[in-house]
């Protein structure tokens, strides 16, 4: 004679705010509704062209040093720092020359011309800045110019 017993363990209730599913009333998986608010901050983005070619940026940051907003971007061949100045309000501006620089393939390009940037959005609550930029960098005594165009930065945290 074979006797089989089965015991069912009482299942613990699963918190709908941590179950990994989009439950009724939630605005996102495990957020919104009766759960904690969803993170509505989109990912930051930065892109530009160098002499007409798209550049892949591997490092980007926006710092507020107490006075100015400093936008930095780089990859293995270029490093650019733009001093966006002290006014984060939407509008068109000329980058502050002090603190604006470019190094390309290890060579500094200290001369700046045709520089402009636009602040398109400033979210002071989440400390995010978005906008556009164009700038030319050159070297004294050389004919090469780095034309930085179609620059865009979106939702950059500072």
Largest CA distance in the chain: 101
Please report the pLDDT score of residue 108 as a whole number: 97
- Write out residues in the chain with pLDDT < 70, as ranges: 1-10
pTM of the predicted model, to two decimals?
A: 0.74
Q: Which residue in 89, 154, 149, 71 sits closest to 113, CA to CA?
A: 149
Question: Do residues 75 and 66 make contact, with C-beta atoms less than 8 angstroms apart?
Answer: no
Please report the pLDDT score of residue 77 as a whole number: 96
Please report the pLDDT score of residue 112 as a whole number: 96
Please report the pLDDT score of residue 31 as a whole number: 81
Rounded to whole angstroms, the Cα distance separating 129 from 29 reads 27
Please report the pLDDT score of residue 2 as a whole number: 56
Please report the pLDDT score of residue 95 as a whole number: 82
Catalogue the E-assigned strands of the chain.
45-50, 53-55, 59-64, 69-74, 78-83, 91-93, 96-104, 107-108, 111-123, 128-138, 145-157
Q: Which residue in 90, 99, 68, 82 sits closest to 134, CA to CA?
A: 82
Q: Which residue in 84, 81, 102, 100 sits closest to 92, CA to CA?
A: 84
Please report the pLDDT score of residue 42 as a whole number: 76
Tokens of 98: 């002090």
Q: Which residue in 59, 56, 82 sits closest to 71, CA to CA?
A: 82
Tokens of 49: 């062209």
Tokens of 89: 């309000």
Please report the pLDDT score of residue 156 as a whole number: 96
């Amino acid at each position: 004679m074979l006797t089989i017993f089965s015991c069912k363990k009482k299942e613990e209730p699963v918190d709908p705010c941590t179950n990994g599913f989009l439950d009724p009333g939630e605005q996102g998986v495990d957020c919104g509704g009766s759960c904690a608010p969803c993170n509505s901050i989109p990912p930051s983005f930065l892109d530009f062209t160098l002499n007409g070619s798209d550049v892949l940026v591997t490092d980007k940051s926006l710092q507020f040093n107490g006075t100015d907003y400093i936008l930095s971007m780089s990859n293995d061949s270029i490093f650019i720092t733009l001093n966006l100045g002290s006014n984060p309000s939407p509008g068109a501006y000329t980058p502050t020359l002090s603190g604006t620089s470019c190094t390309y393939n290890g060579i500094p390009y200290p001369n700046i011309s045709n520089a402009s940037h636009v602040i398109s959005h400033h979210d002071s609550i989440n400390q995010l800045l978005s906008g556009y930029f164009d700038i030319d960098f050159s070297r004294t005594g050389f004919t090469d110019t780095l034309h930085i165009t179609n620059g865009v930065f979106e939702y950059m945290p500072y």
